[in-house]
Amino acid sequence: MVKWMWLLVSWALLASVNTRAALAQRSSSSVTTTAEALAQEWFTDNFDNNETQLAVGVNSALNNLTSSDVMCYGVPSVQRRTNEEGPNGGCPDIYTAVNASCSCLTTGYADSETWEFHVALRTNEGSDSYPTALTSSDVLAIDSIRTLLVPSNLTTLRIVGEGTYPQTITFVPQDQDLPGSTLPIAEVDEGSIGITTISLENIDMSSITQTASTFYPSTALNITLRNCNMIKFGYYFFAGLDNVQYLDMSSNHLTAAYVGSSIAHSCSNQFCAVQVLNLTNNSISTFPTVVFNVDNLQELYIAENDITDFNISSTVFSAIETLAVFDSDLPDESATCTDGTWQTAHNRTFCVTSETTTTADASSGGSNSLLIGLVAGGCAIVVAVVAVIAWRYFSHQKTQRVSSSKNDFYSQEFGDTLDFDDTQVQVDPVFLNDPVIITNRLDHKLLKMGRCISKGGFGLVFIGEYKGRRVAIKKIRPDRSVSAAEIEMFLKEIIMMAVLYHPRIVEFVGVAWDNLRHLSAVTEFMENGDLRDVLHGYKLKGERLSWESHKATIALHIAEALSYLHTLKPKIIHRDLKSKNVLLNMYLEAKLSDFGIARMRYIVETHMTAGVGTSFWIAPEVLLGRDYDEAADIFSFGVVLSEIDTDDYPYWNDKNQSNRGRIQEAEILSLVAEGKLRPNFSEDCPKAIVDLADCCLQNDPKNRPTAAEIVVILERMIHASERSSSSLQSGAWSVTSSELGNTR
């Protein structure tokens, strides 16, 4: 059997040779300059085979190109690269030589201050037609939109998806090889960008709003994101937007307003200048009172949401009265107003209560009553505490620190007993003001805590209950919770957890706190605990799991989780993959957890802290303090395969029982870093698994497979075994060279 690693290397070399030969043949009639060669390389690196992009020009970083080498002379175009069909001749020769086709948008764009595109996701149905010219009235069949290089005089950009449902068209940067989450929708090649209005309609933005940063230019005043399948926003998606006056986020799935503050006449996010806010047809369930603390607000549209409680304070009612336009649904006919009086404004009826009987929505969370607006003073319990926090906020505005409130819901058994803790912890408000934290905040009063089920150097995990659902509750250790830095680190982890959605990632339920010292991340409860304990437990009982019954599937699930993380844009590197961070449910299905030191790839950290019990999983390049990427996770996966096989720690296992101490650990790490030592596998481990692990544990990161390739290999192993009803040791669990070739 040919080892997978060598086939991968051979395939790469063959592809490289074929590409060079094809380029040489096509360019034999002319000499390619260095600048042109770089442009060709950029083009092939930024297009998948058969991918079609809406784009303008070429990468602005490419210098010394003539005007004839700029695609369609700088007007928008549909660009395509395919190895299956010949080019259409619409591109400059240097791109035609690498199988590029260009359809130039010849009318409606040159010297215009407004660009409008109508797009639809390209399908494989029927025969594709790629004319050399298109017009602004044509629907553009594309896969992705590359950051548009726009002229400085452009003021309005509108992109409309044509179809019944939001079009799943992706956005890609000018150069996908560069690290970073920054993904601007448009930028200028020369001069200053002048765009003030950007409208995206019927485009699926559910993923990009959570992973990209600085999407909009700072000049934007009017933003429309209508029917874009949005659920929530990531940390920096709206970064730099301080002057937006018109914001339309109608017809999405938002559960929060994303505008406002819990402090009157203040605003602590980007949308402080908003005058018109349209949140029609979303999933907001709590009346968004905090938006009225934005002094410039003139029009508010919140109809067709899930709001049923129209109890508001007299202050909020007065703010509604002063609006030029207000639109909302009507209260249910069965609604009562026992604590106030019915009053009417803008033909809408509200139950107006006194200030002392109204609880601000900023302090009444819950999965169906999420915190609306940005938290500027913590979660208060009584109005007096709110007043104190507000006073402190304005008195210490220069420090811009946020204090938590006082209650403590620690409990050793289920119950509602509260222990009070007067210790105040201050954190940077950017964390508590993050929309991800806001929209995922739960009502801590509904969170019940039971016994501690796991302890670590940083945190504790408790079994708990939220609204009748069994959950896991992760908290910071009490001795660490007095540190603002530790709390901020935990908030970063929570933000990371909240934006990940995959069947092989432990589900994030929400975040809760009454006092920031007791900040809690709530996740789904995995009945069987972590993989390390499961393997050890079955081993002690003499009922070791087999590769046929469970181990191969567990390995597949881990690989699927890594594949998901590594294909995000930007890619996410887990950096702490080990059996303790793999959790199993009642069916022994595996899910990846613990993103405390996970990082997006654009945050390049060349060193990971290696503590006892963690260092054995670290890749050599990380141990040596070198730059690393997602291949470091693949090395860790190879070590986890050893754990799964031996039911024991890597290196410290049945083959090496002696001297389990720090000296041996240091020696082991030194040998691993030098590529002289790998974890052991049992004698009865299937050869296909050993071969796969051998590829993952290569000292050179470039020689390791990707997570997606590992998924394919493991799926074929499992399916072959199921078809033949054979064991892993049989030929059904071998990987032939032909099968490996088909994984590419």
pLDDT of residue 61: 59
CB-CB contact of 677 with 614 (8 Å): no
Please give the Cα distance from 241 to 219 (Å, whole number): 8
Q: How many CA atoms lie within 13 A of 249 on its CB side?
A: 28
Model confidence band, residue 270 (pLDDT cutoffs 50, 70, 90): low
Please give the Cα distance from 215 to 404 (Å, whole number): 32
Entry pTM? 0.51
For residue range 588-645, list pLDDT tens digits in order. 999 998 876 555 443 333 333 333 236 889 999 988 888 888 999 999 999 999 999 9
Arithmetic mean of pLDDT over the chain = 77
Query: Is the pLDDT assigned to residue 464 strictly greater than 50?
Result: yes
Please give the Cα distance from 225 to 197 (Å, whole number): 11
Across-strand partners of 311? 351
For residue range 473-488, list pLDDT tens digits in order. 999 888 777 788 888 8
Model confidence band, residue 14 (pLDDT cutoffs 50, 70, 90): very low
Amino acid identity, position 215: F
Q: Give the dihedral sign, CA 552/555/560/561.
A: positive
CB-CB contact of 232 with 259 (8 Å): no
Please give the Cα distance from 301 to 279 (Å, whole number): 6
Over residues 271-283, the mean pLDDT reads: 91
For residue range 551-569, list pLDDT tens digits in order. 999 999 999 999 989 888 7
Query: Is the pLDDT assigned to residue 399 strictly greater than 80?
Result: no
Nearest Cα to 381, choosing from 409, 354, 401? 409
CA distances from 559 to 226, 243, 573, 597, 633 (A): 36, 44, 13, 19, 10
pLDDT of residue 223: 97
Please give the Cα distance from 528 to 530 (Å, whole number): 7
For 485, the enclosing helix (H) or strand (E) is helix 484-498
Nearest Cα to 523, choosing from 501, 546, 545, 552? 501
Distance of CA 31 to the CA centre of its chain: 44
pLDDT of residue 203: 96
Query: Is the pLDDT assigned to residue 490 strictly greater than 70?
Result: yes
Please count the other Cβ atoms lying within 10 Å of the Cβ belonging to residue 541: 8
Please give the Cα distance from 429 to 267 (Å, whole number): 12
Q: What is the DSSP letter of 182?
A: B
Across-strand partners of 213? 182
**The pair of three-digit structure tokens given for residue 108, joined into one six-digit string:** 């409606």
DSSP secondary structure, 294-338, as one string: -TT--EEE--SSS----EEEHHHHHHHHH-SEEE-PPPPTT---T
Of the two residues 299 and 409, the one the predictor is more confident about is 299
pLDDT of residue 381: 31
> What backbone phi and psi angles, to 5 degrees, belong to 681?
-125, 155
Please give the Cα distance from 394 to 355 (Å, whole number): 21
Please give the Cα distance from 439 to 433 (Å, whole number): 10
Q: Averaging pLDDT over each range in 74-88, 169-183, 425-439, which range is the top one?
A: 74-88
What's the CATH class of domain 531-741? mainly alpha
**Per-residue burial over 706-737, b = 16 or more CB atoms within 10 Å of its CB, e = otherwise:** bbebbbbbbebbbebbeeeeeebeeebbbbee
Please give the Cα distance from 237 to 196 (Å, whole number): 17
Please give the Cα distance from 222 to 243 (Å, whole number): 9
CB-CB contact of 634 with 704 (8 Å): yes
Please give the Cα distance from 118 to 136 (Å, whole number): 8
Beta carbons within 8 Å of 283's beta carbon, 6+ residues apart: 253, 254, 255, 305, 306
pLDDT of residue 364: 33
Q: Give the dihedral sign, CA 600/605/607/609.
A: negative
CB-CB contact of 284 with 308 (8 Å): no
Query: Token pair 């890597």 is at which residue?
Result: 650
Nearest Cα to 704, choosing from 736, 678, 680? 678
Q: Break the chain down into helix, strand, coil percent, rounded to 5.
A: 30, 20, 50
Query: Is the pLDDT assigned to residue 390 strictly greater than 70?
Result: no
Secondary structure of residue 4 in the 3-state scheme = helix
pLDDT of residue 338: 85
Which residue ranges does the chain devote to CATH 1.10.510.10? 531-741
Query: Is the pLDDT assigned to residue 179 strictly greater than 70?
Result: no
Compute the C-alpha angle 218/220/223, nearest 5°: 130
Q: What is the CA radius of gyration of the chain?
A: 29
Return the HEC string of 20-67.
HHHHHHHCCCCCCCHHHHHHHHHHHHCCCCCEEEEEECCCCCCCCCCH
**383-524: CATH number:** 3.30.200.20
Please give the Cα distance from 140 to 78 (Å, whole number): 7
Strand-strand pairing, 590-592 and 599-600: unpaired
Please give the Cα distance from 578 to 565 (Å, whole number): 16
Please count the other Cβ atoms lying within 10 Å of the Cβ belonging to residue 151: 20
Please give the Cα distance from 293 to 33 (Å, whole number): 60
Give the whole-number percent of the chain exceeding pLDDT 70: 74
CB-CB contact of 567 with 710 (8 Å): no
Q: What is the DSSP letter of 103?
A: E
Secondary structure of residue 160 in the 3-state scheme = strand
Query: Is the pLDDT assigned to residue 421 strictly greater than 60?
Result: no
Over residues 727-737, the mean pLDDT reads: 47
For 489, the enclosing helix (H) or strand (E) is helix 484-498
Across-strand partners of 268? none
